[in-house]
Amino acid sequence: MSLLSLAELLQVFPHSGELMWIGVRPGKGEPMIVVDEVLADTRSGLIGDRYNGNSGRRQVTLLQYEHLAVLGSILHKSIDPEVLRRNLLIKGVNLVALKNCQFKIGDAVFQMTGLCHPCSKIESKLGSGGYNAMRGHGGINAQVVQGGIIRVGDKLTVLKD
């Protein structure tokens, strides 16, 4: 078996991920709205989300499903995804490994634009120590490269260069 170069290793994922949950934030501080499907738009991000109409690096936020258990373990309580105010909950893929990759969910294509760090408000949502518990577990930001409908249950697949 030949060894892969680092560039080749960065393109290899064990399997596809799965979209487990979708939430949109209609306004600053307003409760999340949980939906089964949403339209991802290249100019607006997710239709119905408060970032709708703002093109930029934080059109969509993604959280790794497995991090809910990590946060729950650190904080000694169950964590619901809407408390964390991220848009998409993805199972089965290390989201940080999507750096410099385009990936497809449903009909839409996304590009990771950076890490999604927790803000100071998370302390009031998660309780004492919540900010530090979430550091390193805040997920990623992404931009919509190709619009389309995404649905709970859709696969996340990394597109090869």
In the chain, % of residues over pLDDT 70: 96
- Full domain range(s) for residue 33: 16-159
pTM: predicted TM-score of the whole model, two decimal places: 0.93
> Number of folded domains in the chain?
1
113 inside domain: yes
pLDDT of 16-50, one tens digit each? 999 999 999 998 889 999 999 999 999 989 999 98
Residues 44-75: pLDDT tens digits?
899 999 876 565 778 999 999 999 999 999 99
Q: How many CB atoms lie within 10 A of CB 158?
A: 18
Rounded distance between C-alpha atoms, residue 40 and residue 129, angstroms: 34
Domain of 118: which CATH number? Answer: 2.40.33.20
Strand, helix or coil at 147? Answer: coil
Asked if residue 7 is part of any domain, the answer here is no
